[in-house]
Amino acid sequence: MNFFTQTTREEASSQSRIKDYSKFIFATMVCLFLTQAALIFLKSMNWDEFLHFSQVYDLANGRLVWFFQTLQSRLFFWAPAVSPDIITQLQAARFVMLGFEIVAVMMVILLARQFVDREIALLTGLVYLAGGYTFAHGFSYRPDPMAAATLMTALYVLARRDLSVWNILLTGSLVGLAGMMTVKSIFYLPCFAGIAVFRLLESRSSQGMTLLRVAAVPVVAVIVFAVVLVVHMNGIQIHQTASASVVSKSQSFLNSGLFLRAQYTIAQALMAPLILIGIVLLPFLMPGRSRNENIVLASLLVPLVTLIFYRNTYPYFFVFLLAPVCVAIAPSIALLARRYSVLGILPIVLLSPIKFLFLEDYDVIDRQRALINEVHRLFPEPTGYLAYTGFISDYPRIIPHLISGIGLKSYHEKGDALIAREIERGNVGFVLADSPPVIAALAGEHMPESFQPRDFAALRDNFIHYQGDLWLAGKLLCPAPGEQPLTLFRAGLYSLEGGVVSIDGRRMADGETFDFAAGEHRLLYENGACLKLWALPEVPRPKVPFDSGPVMTNF
């Protein structure tokens, strides 16, 4: 059964065109995919990519922050074996994500083909691929490219194929898997509902039988979701500290306000104006189309409503969001192509990728690699650390759920100084100053409604700045009259930099290393300079100084 059996106006008008640019559009798409393949090596890793990739290592160690939205940690179990370098591992994973994006683009084209001719369907796929944040994040290591590819394929099978047992199982399985990848898969529900209604209205056989077949899809989806969840949960220990965070995330998802990330929506609209124009034009084109077709077009636009209430409408979200939307605006793209020609609108389509390529900071990824390698040099064995994200993916973060404002708010409201407690247990070897509350704490300041007062004190008193964003466990010892107490939380070797002191009656000179137990010690100065007591077997000195500049870009 064809999704739409009528000949569209666009198909009729295509017969009168002087030249078909399908091959040129396809070649342009290939060029953009090749450019993204190059960006896999040139574009820095986003904080969220580090977060999700750290879950691959968490799973290997039998622990995860939560069960949901972590399925990719199983699918990418092989990535750590690619190379000992974290960045190279992530780049390998990005290639797989690029493959998912290619699938999503193919599905956009195939679904758009039911509204418009081949040339415009290809152009619609190009509009999605080049559409602002999609081009920049379509290959990012996140669930979004995976979910977009999976759900768009399910939409295509439901729309284009006969409702056979195998196709019902395939569609339901894809939806169930997408639900395990990300809970925001539910945002595609109106799209599936619109196509299901169309199948019922256009059914040439018994509508009752068609209804049963369509209804079987969500049943299969639920069963697959449940089975995959049970299998995924097997052998995993969930962090107790994360449970409250998950509840808080759910509540914040519903009660966070409206248009919380409006700046990204505005930026997306400005970078890809053709998509915005297409959305605006579509209602004016609907009167010329059949009622059943308009049901589908409208349903594919409904996910746009999530921009109003969904909290995490960050740039990567548009990779997921815009796939069905671009299919919906295919008639609008056809109208623009007829009026201004394909070559006339192509520069507008390519404006966003060109702008991104010129504005991207290509030095950041080198600094990221340098920082990770330096941490591995200083700490050859996995060592606990504090950071906003899982930057050192193969080492355990002491609080793995401080990933956003939601997690931070949950931590503050709970009132438990977990950070300080982990520091006092000697479980924190280093800190990355990659978020405002951590930066404030290390500078001896406070940030309201973030960490606990005890956390700020523990961070201030037990870490020394090394270079860049990296702070190492240790004590900054400044002169004071007579003996003074010295509390060391990490047992092991300590190295002195800058002068001479006596600790527990033992004289310790510049560059010397002593073994200390955790606990209280007595300190006596022998000169008047501030010294650094590093919790390392030797005074740390970088082999290669870090380049100045950020190790993380915004988006």
- From first to last of the 555 residues of the chain, give the pLDDT tens digit: 344 334 445 554 554 455 789 999 999 999 999 999 999 999 999 999 999 999 999 988 877 777 778 899 999 999 999 999 999 999 999 999 999 999 999 999 999 998 999 999 999 999 999 999 999 999 999 999 999 999 999 999 999 888 899 999 999 999 999 999 999 999 999 999 999 999 998 877 777 888 999 999 999 999 999 999 999 988 776 655 544 444 445 445 544 667 788 999 999 999 999 999 999 999 999 998 889 999 999 999 999 999 998 988 999 999 999 999 999 999 999 999 999 999 999 999 999 999 999 999 999 999 999 999 999 999 999 999 999 889 999 999 998 776 566 777 778 888 889 999 999 999 999 999 988 899 999 999 988 888 999 999 999 999 999 998 999 999 999 888 888 999 999 999 999 998 899 999 999 999 999 999 999 999 998 777 889 999 999 999 987 777 778 888 877
Between the alpha carbon of residue 536 and those of residues 135, 331, 422, 525, the distances in Å are: 44, 65, 18, 21
Q: Identify how many contiguous H helices and E strands the chain contains and give both numbers.
A: 24, 13
E-strand ranges in 248-335 read none
**Number of CB atoms found within 10 A of residue 340's CB:** 12
Q: Residue 158: name the closest of 296, 290, 294, 279 by CA.
A: 296
Six-digit token string for 552: 């993380």
> Which pLDDT does position 196 carry in this prediction?
94
| 224 close to 181: Cβ distance less than 8 angstroms | no
| 501 close to 526: Cβ distance less than 8 angstroms | yes
> Which pLDDT does position 315 carry in this prediction?
94
Q: Rounded CA gap, 319 and 12, in Å?
A: 32
> Which pLDDT does position 260 carry in this prediction?
80
Task: Name the CA radius of gyration of the chain, rounded.
Answer: 28
Q: Rounded CA gap, 148 and 101, in Å?
A: 8
> Which pLDDT does position 151 carry in this prediction?
98
Q: Rounded CA gap, 274 and 269, in Å?
A: 8
Nearest-5° angle of CA 371, CA 75, CA 403? 45
367 residue type, one letter: R
> Which pLDDT does position 250 carry in this prediction?
46
CA dihedral 368, 370, 373, 378 (to 10 degrees): -110
